[in-house]
Structure 1
Amino acid sequence: MNTQIQFQRFLPLDTLTTQTPVLFIDSHAPLADLHACVAERLSALHKLLTIFACCPLCDSNPADLTTVTNIARLLLQDANDVFDVVQQRCLSA
């Protein structure tokens, strides 16, 4: 008997800007690919925040801080959504 839990195949990414989901995660994608997706986003976020941390804020336009914050939130939300799928798959195995 197969005891593995079947997950919905395509899961929507969280969004603050649309009423209906537009981007989806393939929950049946290979774990290595899901991991690579999370790693890519976390690495990009780390680099972005490192660059911003090294810049004096007094030289920045206030709009830049809002832009960087929005980029960081998007990258982190995507990574978190994909990580949730990885975690569910690993815990159900």
Structure 2
Amino acid sequence: MKNQLPPRRFYPCTETATENPVLLIDSDAPLLDLHACLRERLNAALEHLNLLACSSLPDFAERDLNNVANTARILVQDVSDVFRVIEHRGFDRPAPG
């Protein structure tokens, strides 16, 4: 019989700025807290993208566009990482990583 490792409590967020994970997701956090985290980040990303969509291109410098896009990317990546933990918790199997 193969020995199974106990489930991990903390899962790393996807990192693009560092080689080692810095931010961790507590897979044992209450679902309401995980949902609040998702909602906050997704709403912030949507507000950023709405600002961009409702503005004319000449209003933004290239650097501003890059900052808005990068901020939205980071927030959506966080949302994706937390969803991954929730999905694996809900399906009762360990999250990858």
TM-score by length of 2: 0.85
Structure 1 residue 9 corresponds to structure 2 residue 9: yes
Q: Secondary structure at the match of 2:19?
A: coil
Percent identity of the aligned residues? Answer: 47
Greater helix share, 1 or 2? Answer: 1
Which position in structure 2 is the counterpart of 1:33?
Answer: 33
Which position in structure 1 is the counterpart of 2:49?
Answer: 49
Unaligned runs of 5+ in 2: 1-5
AA aligned opposite 2:20: T
CA contact (8 A) 1:7 1:27 kept: no
Query: Residue deviations 1:31-55, cap 9 Å, x none?
Result: 1111111111111111111111101
Shift of residue 84, structure 1, vs aligned partner: 0.7
In 1, the alpha carbon distance for the partners of 2:9 and 2:20 equals 17
In 2, the alpha carbon distance for the partners of 1:52 and 1:59 equals 10
Q: Secondary structure at the match of 1:92?
A: coil
Which position in structure 2 is the counterpart of 1:66?
Answer: 66
Unaligned runs of 5+ in 1: 1-5
Shift of residue 7, structure 1, vs aligned partner: 2.9
RMSD: 1.3
Shift of residue 89, structure 1, vs aligned partner: 1.1
CA contact (8 A) 1:10 1:24 kept: yes
AA aligned opposite 1:83: F
Shift of residue 88, structure 1, vs aligned partner: 0.9
In 2, the alpha carbon distance for the partners of 1:32 and 1:92 equals 18
